[in-house]
Structure 1
Amino acid sequence: MLDTSCPPDRSWSWPTAIRFGAGRLSDLPAALRELGASNPLFVTDEGLLPLPPAQAALAVLKDAAMAHGVFAEVQPNPTGVSVEQGVVAFRAGGHDAVIAFGGGSALDAAKAVALMVHQSRPIWDFEDIGDNWTRVDTSRTVPVIAIPTTAGTGSELGRSSIITDSAAHRKLIIFHPIMMPQIAILDPELTVGLPPALTASTGMDALCHALETWITPNFHPMADGLALQALRMIKDALPRAFADGTDLAARADMLIASGMACVALQKGLGGVHALSHSLGAVYDLPHGLLNAILMPHVTALNMPAAEARLAELARLLDLPGQGAQAVIDWLETLRDTLDIPASLRPLGVDEARLDEVVALALRDPCAVANPAPFDAELAGTMLRRALG
């Protein structure tokens, strides 16, 4: 936790240049000028556009007399169609940069729009499989400034976007290093108005990134360090941000932790994400909420393969109880504290499409990093347990 109730302005690089602190939204015009941009496209979602955070950002641009356009056709699970529409809007407005503003969906869509402006191939050719990323034409790029209004995906520091292929009913990870934003503005004041339920689900998404990173058997000691520090911060800050949305220090810690967890996940994720991507594609459900519900169930079934790492985490986080089971107990207690359902059923998920979800999950690139071999039997068992 930061040692101040009102974090001062701070800046560092990750390598994305980060402007952190309450009120740093005012840095937006200067950040655009730093990138040589004079006519950005402001990309957000329709629900956020009329709300105070987005209106405050647009007012900053207006006060700076900076030309800009607005694209707000982003869905909660952004689709390839919306990315195409964003590219059309970018070209039609003669824009020279993208401002990615909002939660993970808006940031992912905006980064994908920036990527696709100068591509001749369809976006699906850049799915994060093998060396597909080398197909990207990098001769011309569009700079991105990312401004998160939730502390969940950490997409403002990420090199990929999750985009839904509506025709194939699949969520695909689109990846290239140039998708990493040039500048991220982390202003905790923009997250103060986030409702408790969204604070909970997005915060658990960040926790899930860090936890799955920590227990995957892949080797990446630097990612482990980021994941552990994110878990420490989330353990303290998330319940506080949920209980008191105006707790600026807790909001600030969550923004930092979600970003760190996103960087860490390059080590690999696992079954929670493989299943949540697939459930999101089939049922069009919120990604963070799915992760929050799935995480205790999937982690419990992964425990035999990840017992040593979970036991180590329980010790490092000073959790009550002993061994790996202490982590499961913590996840379940936190879930209940945050008023998150214990089962997928309240979301409308049932056994009817279980086989379809499992088939998609087995194709998800996150599946290969699961601690236990992620086959149809294990995936089905995980889903059935999460159904209750």
Structure 2
Amino acid sequence: MTHDFNTLRATWSFPTVIRFGSGSISLLPKACTEQGMSRPLLVTDPGLAGTPMVAAMLEDCRKAGLGAEIFAQVKPNPTGGNVEAGLKAFRAGKHDGVVVIGGGSAMDAGKVIAFMAGQSLPVWHFDDNGPGWKDAALDGIAPIIAVPTTAGTGSEVGRAGVIVNEETHQKIIIFHPKMLPAVVIEDPQLTIGLPPHLTAATGIDAFTHCLEAYCAPSFHPLAEGVALEGMRLVKEYLPRAYKDGTDIEARGQILIAASMGATAFQKGLGGIHSISHPVGALYDTHHGLTNAVVMPYVLAFNRPAVEAKIGRLAAFLGIAGGFDGFLDWVLAFRRDLGIPHTLAKIGVDAARAGEIGKYAAIDPTAGSNPIPLDAAILQKLFEDAVAGRL
């Protein structure tokens, strides 16, 4: 059965309420009211803050009698300082909820702002590496509505936010179950303006989430099934969205794939992300693009543990040649989408390789790689990705 994505509207709850469809952004004021918000803070990034799209959301909320304001002091790799500034704005405006609008940066910052609105402990206490989330005060956590405008991170269905600690130059995953947005509005119309290079980088981010979740060694058959379908959607529809940004069906399917990736990675991630996180923190690179560049180097390293599994994946995706065929397809897929083959091409050198290895080894995602990782292995994988040694 086929669907017309120009008119399709659907709602499902997995893992939270998702209202999907072209034009579904019109539901935002009602969603705010349903979540008890009378003064929502709209958290976005500086690039989106001045766009007609965000202006229309703000106007619609105000027409509905909501005391909405915008906060947009969010860096591409959001920092603890961004969270502090957002909390100040939240409290000064007497806001009672957060609407996060944008890609992973705005999503992560906005979710952590909403979470920290109820906390007295410092944000770093809730590092996903430890049990700090159990110490959270629950009553003051603000409700969250997520409106993705890119299709990649899937942060709209996640229970965490990735924030840079400026003092240690580490990306810290801040976690709490109540950080999961109560409602997600997925409107493919909002992604039409995303340029091709960002469409590619964010779309491959979704693929990376699915791939690492599928390969993670933990037992979670449900997540594995979601990951498989997410990769099929990216393979089929990302080239279409890249070539024609107005293709609503392709845009919609990639939005779905992004949410599927973040749903699947509760099974685990791996070495791609454990390298990408410190690279982003130290070099301020785009997260999805960094993942896309690093992917084949970690995939090749993991071959002894995942070869049979990748063979099954390749067959499902209609790719001949087992592991070798799949790796060749990944390289061609990246190339066709304009993704560079090396980190050097995106401004990353090997001068801080030791730091990258050290920080990658303690990143929470390293523990779910199919083959055990340590700082020396991760440093070498990083150096290989800088130089293009595959």
Shared fold (TM-score greater than 0.5)? yes
Query: Which secondary structure state, in structure 2, belongs to the residue aligned with residue 41 of structure 1?
Result: strand
Equivalent position of 1:116 in the other structure: 116
User: 3-state SS of the aligned residue for 2:73?
Assistant: strand
Deviations 1:35-90 (A, max 9, x none): 12111001101111112321221232233232111111011000011101111111
In structure 2, C-alpha distance between the alignment counterparts of 1:55 and 1:68, rounded to whole Å:
11
**Partner amino acid, structure 2, of 1:17:** V
User: Are residue 128 (structure 1) and residue 136 (structure 2) matched?
Assistant: no
1:216-227 matched pairs, under 5 angstroms: 216-227=216-227
Aligned to 2:142: 142
SS of aligned partner of 2:163: strand
CA distance in 2, matches of 1:352, 1:386: 13
Cα distance in 2 between the residues matched to 1:205 and 1:301: 19
| Counterpart for residue 286 of structure 2 | 286
SS at match of 1:32: helix
Which runs of 5 or more residues in structure 1 are unaligned? none
User: Structure 2-normalised TM-score?
Assistant: 0.97
* Aligned pairs, number: 387
Where does residue 187 of structure 2 map in the other structure?
187
What corresponds to 1:27 in structure 2? 27
Are the counterparts in 2 of residues 196 and 243 from structure 1 also a CA contact under 8 Å? yes
CA deviation profile, 1:194-222 (whole Å, cap 9, x unmatched): 00000000001100000000111111111
Name the structure 2 match of 1:160: 160
1:182-205 Cα offsets, whole Å, 9 max, x none, are 000000000011000000000011
TM superposition shift of 1:6? 1.8
2:276 aligns to what? Answer: 276
> Residues of 2 paired with 1:98 and 1:376: CA distance?
38
Q: Secondary structure at the match of 1:171?
A: strand
Once structures 1 and 2 are overlaid, which stretch shifts more, 134-143 or 79-88? 134-143
Kept in 1: contact 2:152–2:288 (CA 8 A): yes
Q: Does the Cα contact within 8 Å between 1:237 and 1:253 map onto a contact in 2?
A: yes
Q: Kindly state the Cα deviation for residue 2 of structure 1 after the two structures are TM-superposed.
A: 5.6
* Helix, strand or coil at the partner of 1:259: helix
Contact 2:58 2:69 in 1 (8 A): no
TM-score with structure 1 setting the length: 0.97
C-alpha separation in 2, matches of 1:307 and 1:156: 32
**Is the contact between residue 2 and residue 253 of structure 1 (CA under 8 Å) also seen in structure 2?**
no
- Cα separation, 2, equivalents of 1:274 and 1:247: 33
SS of the residue aligned with 1:200? helix
- The 1-side partners of 2:82 and 2:114 are apart by 13
Partner Cα separation in structure 2 for residue 243 and residue 154 of structure 1: 22
Q: Distance in 2 between matches of 1:2 and 1:188?
A: 17
Describe the shift of the 1:15–1:379 C-alpha distance in structure 2 as closer, same or farther (beyond 3 A). closer
Q: Is the 8 Å Cα contact of residues 150 and 194 (structure 1) preserved in structure 2?
A: yes
How do 1:44-123 and structure 2 match up within 5 A?
Answer: 44-123=44-123
TM-aligned CA deviation for residue 111 of structure 1 = 0.2
Contact 1:7 1:252 in 2 (8 A): no
Q: Is 1:100–1:106's contact at 8 Å kept on the other side of the alignment?
A: yes
- Compute the RMSD of aligned alpha carbons: 1.2
Mean Cα displacement is larger for which, 10-19 or 80-89? Answer: 10-19
Query: Could you list the per-position Cα deviations for residues 206-248 of structure 1 after superposition, in whole angstroms to 9, with x for gaps in the alignment?
Result: 0000000011111111100110110111110111100100000
- Structure 2 partner of 1:304: 304
| Runs of 5+ consecutive residues of structure 2 not aligned to the other structure | none
Check if 1:196 corresponds to 2:180.
no
Residue 331 of structure 2 aligns with which residue? 332
Supply the distance in 2 between the matched residues of 1:209 and 1:105 (Cα, whole angstroms).
Answer: 16
Contact 1:270 1:366 in 2 (8 A): yes
Query: Matches of 1:67 and 1:377 in 2, distance apart?
Result: 52
**Which position in structure 1 is the counterpart of 2:365?**
366
**For the residues of structure 2 that align with 1:7 and 1:323, how far apart are their CA atoms?**
39
Separation of aligned partners in 2, 1:62 and 1:134? 36
The residue that corresponds to 1:318 in the other structure is 318
Q: Distance in 1 between matches of 2:70 and 2:200?
A: 29
Distance 1:39 1:146 in 2: 16
Structure 1's 200 and 2: CA in aligned 2 closer, same or farther, altered over 3 A?
Answer: farther
Matching residue of 1:356? 355
Partners of 2:117 and 2:140 within 8 A in 1: no
Deviation sequence 1:268-302 (CA, Å, 0-9, x none): 00000000001011111111110010011211111
Q: Is the 8 A contact 1:53 1:149 kept in 2?
A: no
Aligned to 1:260: 260
Partner of 2:162: helix, strand, or coil?
strand
Kept in 2: contact 1:79–1:164 (CA 8 A) = yes
